[in-house]
Amino acid sequence: MKRVVLLLAAAGAMGWPAAVLAQAPAAATPAADSARLQLPYTHFTLANGLTVILHEDHSVPVVSVNVWYNVGSARERTGRTGFAHLFEHLMFMGSGHVKPGEFDTWLEGVGGSNNGSTGNDRTNYFINVPANALELALYLESDRMGYLLDTMTPQTVDAQRDVVKNERRERVENEPYGMADVVLNELLYPEGHPYHWPVIGYMPDLTAASYDDVVAFFKTYYAPQNASLVVAGDIDPPAARALVEKYFSDVKPGQPVPPMAIPGVALTGVTRKTITDRVQLPRRFVAWLTPMRFAPGDAALDIVADVLAGGKNSRLYKRLVYDLQIAQSVSAYQSSMALSSSFIVDVMPRPGHTLDELQAVIDEEIAKLQQQPPSDREMQRAINQIESSFYSRMERVGGFGGKADQLNGYFVTTGNPDWFNEDIARYRALGPNDVRAAAAAFLPAGRRVELTVVPEGKAGGQPQ
């Protein structure tokens, strides 16, 4: 009943009544200890298993409601890929007490915004609203957690299936070099591994997905005990807790999520593949399997990436782009994930130069780093850039990478929402020899994947 009553109040006012929106201002939080980053939070679990994390921040009068479901494309299976991403779309199509279109209309009416994303390991949703619209945000988020299936039909699934298929055409199949990520993961991870297929799924699997398949996926993974909710921003924690309990306590718990089978994975040699695309210049991706997120070596490989290609003064960028002037671009990054990670070097030659020229320089610079540690200046520059990015994200409460999102991410990965200090300490504790050792251990020349993308009708890597 409480959902129907609230719905009528919202519809009658084309927004939220002042009595519902008004909240008493909360006291300011104490000044942070300058020696250690302080991020106070309240952590509790509802009877249905939903984990709730509250963070009070009165710097601006906004609130972010952030939900992580512990399901991404890694939870899919061969022949039924793309479900997690398809469900992200379905979650915006109305629920038991919210008609299609009303979700966005009501949020826009109070100046709010919302979005979601799907990855290999999780699906997340966030709503950012003025502080006095917190109740609306919690109502909407709880309704689709508990009552999405009340309005979902085969026609709804078909409509969003077509949207996702068009998204794949636009962002993967018709995007320059768009198939590279798909093929690279297929080469890095064997058939059956949770990271083998793309997050967006394969076209035949999206076509084959039935309404019953989608319902079963929701019932298995979109349950409160498989989710965590963060409410961060200009809140009074006791009042926010009362609202969370009001709107989420009636969501029924699901069955325990079955454990995931994770086959072992390793590269035993060099795997090379060339694909064609409708592009002007060739491009090469060199990739290694590396330690999972937060495992030993993960942070050191972030430093390796920065030393190699983290800016105009980095080793590869300076040699390839400035000194030799044989590359259009070069980048390197550690792609950290929950089950396994990959380290990728991505390079594109200038017209008139070949990928083999660039590859020789890449191999030379990696070998140098494997034999001699980076300089103190390189270490400090890398750590400064990581810290700068870290604190930049901390300035925002909502959105992708904001404090609400980070609290959820740390909780899901480590069990501790306030893992900020431990995270940044991973980098501060590293010395030059740690970085050299990581490059030597995890970037062997004889165990990697080399994916080359060449223009249609051109020989691989030849001058254009």
Give residue-wise pLDDT tens across range 391-436: 998 999 999 999 999 999 999 999 999 999 999 999 999 999 999 9
DSSP string, 203-215: HHHHHH--HHHHH
pLDDT tens digits for range 438-460: 999 999 999 999 999 999 987 54
Closest to 154 measured CA to CA, from 82, 95, 213, 79 = 213
| Segment (H or E) for 69 | strand 62-69
Identify the pLDDT of residue 35. Answer: 54
Identify the pLDDT of residue 28. Answer: 36
Q: Measured on CA atoms in the order 414, 419, 424, 427, is the torsion positive or negative?
A: negative
Identify the pLDDT of residue 39. Answer: 87
Same fold, 2-16+42-248 and 270-455: yes
- What single-letter DSSP state applies at residue 173? I
Amino acid identity at 375: S
- DSSP reduced 3-state for 125: strand
Residue 20 clears pLDDT 70, i.e. is over it: no
Mean pLDDT across 159-186: 96
On average, the pLDDT of the chain sits at: 90
Residue 105 clears pLDDT 60, i.e. is over it: yes
Q: Across-strand partners of 451?
A: 273, 285
pTM for this structure? 0.89
- What sections of 287-338 are H helices per DSSP? 298-309, 315-316
Identify the pLDDT of residue 12. Answer: 35
Identify the pLDDT of residue 21. Answer: 30
The CA distance from 413 to 213, in Å, is 28
Neighbours of 325 (CB within 10 A): 11
Identify the pLDDT of residue 257. Answer: 93
Cα–Cα distances (Å) from 65 to 139, 404, 461, in that order, read 11, 8, 48
Q: Measured on CA atoms in the order 406, 407, 412, 416, is the torsion positive or negative?
A: positive
Listed by start position, the domains of the chain span: 2-16+42-248, 270-455
Closest to 109 measured CA to CA, from 214, 15, 227 = 15
Residue 19 clears pLDDT 50, i.e. is over it: no
Q: Say if residues 181 and 209 touch (Cβ distance below 8 Å).
A: no
Identify the pLDDT of residue 29. Answer: 37
Domain spanning 2-16+42-248, CATH class: alpha beta
Residue with tokens 């390796």, as numbered in its chain: 304
pLDDT tens digits for range 249-307: 999 999 999 888 788 899 999 999 999 999 999 999 999 999 999 999 999 999 999 99
Neighbours of 80 (CB within 10 A): 18
Multiple choice CATH, 270-455, 3.40.50.300, 2.60.120.200, 3.40.190.10, 3.30.830.10? 3.30.830.10
Identify the pLDDT of residue 8. Answer: 32
Banded pLDDT at 37 (limits 50, 70, 90): confident
Neighbours of 293 (CB within 10 A): 18
Q: Across-strand partners of 327?
A: 349
Identify the pLDDT of residue 1. Answer: 33
Identify the pLDDT of residue 263. Answer: 82
Banded pLDDT at 2 (limits 50, 70, 90): very low
* Range of lowest pLDDT (108-122, 161-175, 325-339, 445-459): 445-459
pLDDT tens digits for range 54-77: 999 999 999 999 999 999 999 999
Q: Which position has the higher pLDDT, 36 or 2?
A: 36
Identify the pLDDT of residue 458. Answer: 72
